[in-house]
Amino acid sequence: MKSWNLLENCHHHGMVIPLFSLRSEKSCGIGEIPDLLPILDLLKDVGMDILQLLPLKDSDIDPSPYNPISSCALNPAYLGLASLPYSKDELSDLQKLNSTPTVDWKKVREAKQRWLKSYLHRFGEEFEKEREYEEFVQSSSWLEPYCQFRAPLQRETRLTQYLLYKQMREVKKRADELGILLMGDIPIFLSRRSVDVKSNPELFRKDGDAGVPPDAFNPNGQNWGFPIYDWDAIEADNYRIWQERLQYAQNFYHLFRIDHIVGFFRVFTFPRSGSKAHYVPKRRTKWLPEGEKILNKLTSLTDMLPVGEDLGTIPDGVRPCMKKLSIAGTKVMRWERDWKGDKSFTPIDEYEPLSLTTVSTHDTTLLPAWYLRETRNAKNLCKALGIKWEKKLTTQTHFDLLKASHQTSSLFHVNLLNEYLSLGNPPPFERINLPGVVNETNWCYRYPYTVEELLELDNLKLHIKELLR
């Protein structure tokens, strides 16, 4: 069971950043790992101590970070080429990819792969001589299956993963020096074509795809197409697949977000046979003991502290179970209401302390868009918070709502960087992902500023400092 004692003496504030949304003067078409170093300095400057990242796992050319082809391997697109040692080819052509309005994942991956092939052909042996390289290879049991999966790029892939590892370790080292906590995101599911499924087919059920049941937004539910786990087989294998995953992640993170935590209790499954969709396990009496057993085991496999994404329709008993296991929950202010009663908003000083408060997620609209679209709910939330409501969102009301998210009784208070950037100049319909659809804009969002420009936004720094005061 995890101990939160070292963190409970004060509240912790921070921001969520999709790495792909960043770009610097040196990066090549997408945010790169070294771009996080100045972001850490920005956080320190404004008094924040949490940086939450979306998943960084290799998803090939699929822009969705929640569809990884490996549970451990990092995405080569995030490798900072300009930060690599030794002489290297000119990067100006790759850096031109920064000018596209959104991230062109396919072009970025292909261009970087070509550049790395040449670079590693010349300098790969220099890295292979490093003691840290040998230690990395020996300690990464997932690496060889992944390299074989990526053949014929085995040597290049192995070296690329080593370089990604080194750059992420440098970010972690810098975060430790500044007293900033890094939170990684662990997707619950894996792509059906992932190396994990190919290498360990016995650990996955073959009779259905994971998804979510019908709701007000998706009358037919959502079939995500992910294979579901065979937890009995995983238990018999001593949870090896998850142990590898979590222990590798703790090289980079202090905390980890457990994506779709309800899926560890039960998964809505679309049978491949064409029969009616149902939950697995089918019997409700198994949901809580099954989830508790799995999560108790998984959290024991790592020193990282867990934060559960417990949003959506959550069965009774799940949140008490999370509290019992010392797993923090997530509080999205617009959804914290008495849903079984009069639908009133929950007072922010009554939030469960072991939780994370936010005003939005990567799957929702930003606060300004919600305010304009859901006028009645926005009015009621303002009333519950003692904030002046006006039909048009003013800068002051916007500021007060954001400030409230930093004043709840939660231990953590973390919002998307987009939310702070929108203060005073709201882009009302800007979003990172629209769930349940595949389109050209999901997971391709760029910030309107480079990293260097972000560091010069004095109003942004001033606003955040005032929000935390």
How many H helices and E strands in the chain? 17, 12
Cis previous bond, 281, omega within 30: yes
Q: 175: Cβ–Cβ under 8 A, 6 or more apart, which residues? A: 40, 51, 181, 182, 254
- For 391, the token pair is 């039909």
Distance CA 86, CA 126 (A): 9
* 270 within 8 A of 223, measured Cβ to Cβ: yes
Give the pLDDT of residue 1. Answer: 44
* 26 within 8 A of 452, measured Cβ to Cβ: no
- 97 phi, psi to nearest 5 deg: -70, -10
Hunting for tokens 């085991």 — which residue is that? 297
Tens digits of per-residue pLDDT, 377-402?
999 999 999 999 999 999 999 999 99
CA dihedral 386, 387, 392, 396 (to 10 degrees): 180
CATH class of the structural domain 12-468: alpha beta
Q: What is the DSSP string of 189-218?
A: ---TTSHHHHH-GGGEEEEEEEEE---SS-
Tens digits of per-residue pLDDT, 22-80?
999 999 999 999 999 999 999 999 999 999 999 999 999 899 999 999 999 999 999 99
- For 175, the token pair is 């975060």
Distance CA 395, CA 423 (A): 7
Q: 442: Cβ–Cβ under 8 A, 6 or more apart, which residues? A: 63, 64, 432, 433, 434
Q: 371: Cβ–Cβ under 8 A, 6 or more apart, which residues? A: 378, 393, 398, 401
* 31 within 8 A of 456, measured Cβ to Cβ: no
pTM of the model as a whole:
0.96
Give the pLDDT of residue 264. Answer: 98
| Three-class secondary structure assignment of 261-296 | HHHHCCEEEEECCCCCCEEECCCHHHHHHHHHHHHH
Distance CA 87, CA 134 (A): 23
* 31 within 8 A of 22, measured Cβ to Cβ: yes
Q: Distances in Å between the alpha carbon of 227 and those of 199, 206, 392?
A: 14, 7, 45
CB-facing half-sphere around the CA of 439: CA atoms within 13 A: 11
Distance CA 275, CA 297 (A): 33
Q: Distances in Å between the alpha carbon of 417 and those of 91, 286, 420?
A: 28, 39, 5
pLDDT tens series, the chain, 469 aa: 466 776 877 999 999 999 999 999 999 999 999 999 999 999 999 999 999 999 999 999 899 999 999 999 999 999 999 999 997 788 999 999 999 999 999 999 999 999 999 999 999 999 999 999 999 999 999 999 999 998 887 889 999 999 999 999 999 999 999 999 999 999 999 999 999 999 999 999 999 999 988 876 678 888 999 999 999 999 999 999 999 999 999 999 999 999 999 999 999 999 988 789 999 999 999 999 999 999 999 999 999 999 999 998 899 999 999 999 999 999 999 999 999 999 999 999 999 999 999 999 999 999 999 999 999 999 999 999 999 999 999 999 999 999 999 999 999 999 999 999 999 887 666 889 998 788 888 999 999 999 999 999 999 999 999 999 9
Nearest CA to 415 out of 395, 425, 401 is that of 401
Give the pLDDT of residue 3. Answer: 67
